[in-house]
Amino acid sequence: MGALDGKVAFVSGAARGQGRAHAVRMAEEGADIIGFDLCDQLQTVVYEMARPEDLEETARLVEATGRQMVAGRADVRDPSSVQEIFEQGLGELGRVDIVVANAGIFAGLGDAGRSPAAWQDSIDVLLSGVYHTCEVAIPTLIEQGDGGSIIITSSTAGLGGLYADRNATSGGIIGYVAAKHGVVGLMRVYATSLASHRIRANTIHPTGVDTPMVNNSEFARFFQEFPNAFDTTRNLLPIPWVEPVDIANAAVFLASDAARYITGVTLPVDAGFSTI
CA dihedral in degrees (48, 23, 77, 98; nearest 10)?
-160
- Report which of 98, 86, 90 is spatially closest to residue 36, judged by C-alpha positions: 86
First-last CA distance in the chain = 39
Residue ranges of domains in the chain: 8-262
Residue pLDDT, tens place only, 102-130:
999 999 888 898 999 999 999 999 999 99
Half-sphere exposure of 6 (CA within 13 A, CB side): 4
Set 47, 131, 176, 190: catalytic member: 176
CA distance 241 to 272: 11
CA distance 72 to 37: 7
- CA 172 and chain centroid, separation: 17
Mean pLDDT of 164-183: 90
Query: Which overall architecture, per CATH, does domain 8-262 show?
Result: 3-Layer(aba) Sandwich (3.40)
267, 202 Cβ separation under 8 angstroms: yes
Please report which residue ranges of 124-170 form alpha helices under DSSP H: 129-144
- Is 176 considered catalytic here? yes
174, 235 Cβ separation under 8 angstroms: no
Residue pLDDT, tens place only, 232-265:
568 999 999 999 999 999 999 999 999 999 999 9
pLDDT computed for residue 233 by the predictor: 62
Whether 164 shows a pLDDT value over 70: the answer reads no
